[in-house]
Structure 1
Amino acid sequence: MTDNAQLDMSGYFLVPPGRLTTAVTWLEMVAPPSEPVPQGGPALKRVEAPDLAWYRALYRRIGEDWLWTSRLVLDDAALAGLIGSPGNEVYVAEQDGAEIGLVELDVSRPGAVEIVYFGLVPEAVGKGRGRALMAAALARAWRPGTARIWLHTCTHDHPGALRFYQACGFVPYAAGIEVFDDPRLSGLLPRSAAPHVPLIEPRRGEPASR
């Protein structure tokens, strides 16, 4: 349900208990990077018609602490239709026989590719694999006819995400605020998820969202 309160563009905006806000930054790249794909990085493999249980498990494993939820709220039919559509490409990153990352591309719009999801499993973070994985993802995204690649990140993401994307060659072009129900209160994600994001309980007798 949509709140009636309007965002005060000149100052603070009080969010009802049970809801979260995050500052969103959109970034784009309009020319392929000149650096070659690093050798020895994760292998990026296209997954045709992804198994739903496999996809949800990897998605949750990577995104739980960053409050990834948009795929978790979909039922089987909706999720299968989305990730199995011709305009959507799912890739798994593998290294030393283990699945360590996920890349999802939206190629449905002529000339533009969106990196919808990009992430590593927790145990692979901080080991220098992200740059190699992004280089491999960009090599897939920069196909004939592509003129622009874009993605977005937010303040609920890894604290180094924005800096990482800029170091990879993406340039910020827009900013915004997202307001949504805290998925930890509904049980969609465990209460222990995203410890860097305060969990604010609704007051007694007040719904989690309005």
Structure 2
Amino acid sequence: MTETITVTTWHLEQTAAAEVVPAAAPDGLDLRVVRAELIGPEFARFLYTAVGGPWTWTDRLPWSYAQWRDWLAQEGLETWVAWVSGTPAGYVQLEPHPDGEVEIIYFGLLPDFIGKGLGSHLLALGLDRAWDLADRHPALPPTRKVTVHTCSLDGPAALPTYQSRGLRLTRTETTHQPPTPPPGPWPGA
């Protein structure tokens, strides 16, 4: 019999820009959050593995260079990167859908930056950018809803951070899957 683990997935949303709860930037950090306007597959995959490695983000590890390139080329997909003293510290990635929904497809911090108050600030900024996405991409419909999901494999602060920034829980799912060790930021790490 194959061993399985229970994974709980939480789906959250906002339906108005006024629901975003701001969070000030943490004191004492040389912080800049910048939109990566020319992001390529190499940097996107770096962010994905560096942030998601400890939390078992594996769905995009098998993607080819062409798959990354094509996904990044979609109209309105935005990646906002937090830089601390010139070092990438985390990111929030926004994926628009044709119906006006904007999904926070990926969000998180590199391990050395967790617990410094940076996550709440970056998430609030990402939510603000999700709500004004159509201003930067006129071909998109206005944002009508912002969504995100997280699961029990993510960091323990993920769900409380989303809720503290004004996202509401809309659905919970429980599944069973085989255990997968976190891949780390590169194979075998």
The alignment's TM-score, normalised by the length of structure 2, stands at 0.80
Relative to structure 1, the CA distance from residue 179 to residue 56 in structure 2 (aligned partners, 3 Å threshold; closer, same or farther) is farther
Give the match for residue 145 of structure 2.
Answer: 148
User: What corresponds to 1:125 in structure 2?
Assistant: 114
Tell me how many residue pairs correspond in the alignment: 177
Q: Which one has the largest radius of gyration?
A: 1
The residue type equivalent to 1:28 in the other structure is E
C-alpha deviations, 1:73-127, integer Å up to 9, x for none?
2111112111222142222111221111111111132321100000011111000
CA deviations 1:153-198 (Å, max 9, x no partner) are 1000111211111111111101113455555499997677xxxxxx
Identity of aligned residues (%): 32
Partner of 2:139: none
Residue equivalent to 2:16: 31
State yes or no: 1:16 paired with 2:2. yes
User: Does residue 43 of structure 2 align to residue 43 of structure 1?
Assistant: no
Structure 2 letter corresponding to 1:16: T
- Uncovered stretches (5+) of structure 2, i.e. residues with no partner: 135-141
Larger helix percent: 2
- Would you say 1:110 and 2:92 are equivalent positions? no
The counterpart of 1:157, out of the listed 154, 164, 167, is: 154
**Could you list the runs of 5+ residues in structure 1 that have no partner in the other structure?**
1-14, 193-210
Any conservation in 2 of the 1:102–1:120 contact (CA below 8 Å)?
A: yes
Alpha carbons 1:44, 1:137 under 8 Å: kept = no
Where do 1:1-210 residues align within 5 Å?
16-17=2-3, 20-32=5-17, 33=19, 35-36=21-22, 38-39=24-25, 42-143=31-132, 145-180=142-177, 182-184=179-181
Change over 3 Å in CA distance of 1:20–1:51 after alignment to 2: farther
TM-score, normalization by structure 1: 0.73
- In 1, the alpha carbon distance for the partners of 2:10 and 2:54 equals 19
3-state DSSP of counterpart to 2:54 = helix
Say if 2:12 and 2:171, in contact at 8 Å, map to a contact too: yes
1:138 to partner: Cα distance: 1.3
* Shift in alpha-carbon separation, 1:36–1:160, aligned structure 2, 3 A: closer
Instruction: Quickly say closer, same or farther: Cα 1:90–1:180, change in 2 above 3 A.
Output: farther
Supply the RMSD in Å over aligned alpha carbons.
2.8
Amino acid paired to 2:13: E
- Listed one character per residue, the Cα deviations across residues 131-168 of structure 1 (whole Å, up to 9, x for unaligned) are 11111111211125212101001000111211111111
Shift of residue 27, structure 1, vs aligned partner? 0.4
